[in-house]
Amino acid sequence: MNHDDPVSLTPPPAGYTEWLGDIKTQIHETQQRAAQALNLQLVSLYWNIGRAILDQQEQQGWGAKIIDRLAQDLRTNFPEMKGFSPRNLKYMRAFYEEWPDAENCATAAAQIGTDRNSPATVGSFVQAALHKLPWGHHCVLLDKLKTRDEREWYLRKAIEHNWSRNILVMQIESRLLERSGGAVTNFALTLPKPQSDLARESLKDPYRFDFLGLGEEAQEREIEGALVKHVTDFLLELGAGFAFVGRQVLLDVGGEEFFIDLLFYHLKLRCYVVIELKAGKFKPEHLGQLGFYLTAVDAQMKDAQDGPTIGLLLCKSKNKVVAEYALRDKAQPLGVAEYQLVESLPPELQTSLPSIEQIERELAGESEKTPNS
């Protein structure tokens, strides 16, 4: 016991803990605002340097070597600053080329806090929000995407969901844009706007389960167990807003027991989401079972303020026309999407050596063969 520190031995007065919490919150908020302001100034500086480089190259006819000279001079004059490599200067020029109508990022950032619908706001929300992403995120958008529309979509999503740079890379490489809103649903007929639009955008097709380490022939319970084991990765693939409730959730209906494969709650839609897994091809009769689960959840679990429960059937494959026909006369909000079991490592990281799982599967296969087979 430290007798030299009487403060630590004295209990705090009433209300002190809450008061301390308020001060800590103020400090954290100030730190966050300072970081945002610093990032705003950095992105604005890089945008202006990029404009200056491009202007001089176009007006003076300077070639690419001017960037190497500029990098050397800037690093000599500002040795304490990082980011003046030839490579980064080229990113600055590309950044300006991609967003030339953003004018000054600092001006745009100041205007975003006023009226987004005002003509005075520079261009669009995206232009005003450029400062909200760290510079490394912008380099990823420039490197991995080809069109401004694609960059704008991922820019919005990265800001909305606070993606790290690694998560942004993963979402781009998994082709999130092409998959978002791709599930076959009847939401337009069964949910009011804007909930139907948000629900549709919340579902993908296909879902990529590249974190399970399962073979293509994995069965439903095997996939389900692996998804729960890797629920953090599964939630990331599902998208923002999904909260995990449980696996094999018991429903007692008329004294009989039924079990939901996976149950989630969507925080933005304010409703339960029932997910059923089918290891084979989609069949219309699958929707009958899923609809029964939705009815039971609405009757037994849904609160008065919750929206209608949504059902998502994940299957190995589907005929889109068959799925559309099967959903057309359903009164409950249902969706059908495929899932893909893919290798967890990207191709550039794979080697010619088999994985432990592959070796185990091959050994298991050999042990099942007869000597004469």
The yes-or-no verdict on residue 221 having pLDDT over 90 is no
Q: What is the DSSP string of 54-65?
A: HHHHHHH---TH
Structure tokens, 140: 């990823």
The predicted structure's pLDDT at residue 368? 44
Q: What residue segments make up the domains of the chain, in order of their start?
A: 23-174, 179-345
Rounding to the nearest 10 degrees, give the CA dihedral for residues 183, 188, 191, 194: 90
Give the burial string for 30-55 (b: 16+ CB within 10 Å, else e).
Answer: eeeeeeeeebbeebbbbbebbbebbe
List C-alpha distances in Å: 187 to 201, 268, 290.
Answer: 10, 16, 15
Separation of alpha carbons 231 and 203, rounded Å: 17
The predicted structure's pLDDT at residue 279? 86
The predicted structure's pLDDT at residue 260? 94
Averaged pLDDT, 157-179? 89
The predicted structure's pLDDT at residue 3? 52
> Of 111-115, 170-174, 262-266, which one has max mean pLDDT?
262-266
Structure tokens, 199: 């629900």
- Dump pLDDT digits (tens) for 55-90: 988 888 888 788 999 999 999 999 988 889 999 999
The predicted structure's pLDDT at residue 364? 54
* Fold of the CATH domain 179-345: Trna Endonuclease; Chain: A, domain 1 (3.40.1350)
Separation of alpha carbons 340 and 208, rounded Å: 5
The predicted structure's pLDDT at residue 362? 54
The yes-or-no verdict on residue 126 having pLDDT over 90 is no
> Of 122-131, 230-239, 247-256, which one has max mean pLDDT?
247-256
The predicted structure's pLDDT at residue 154? 93
- Dump pLDDT digits (tens) for 277-293: 998 899 999 999 999 99
- Dump pLDDT digits (tens) for 340-369: 886 544 444 444 444 445 545 555 554 444
Averaged pLDDT, 245-255? 93
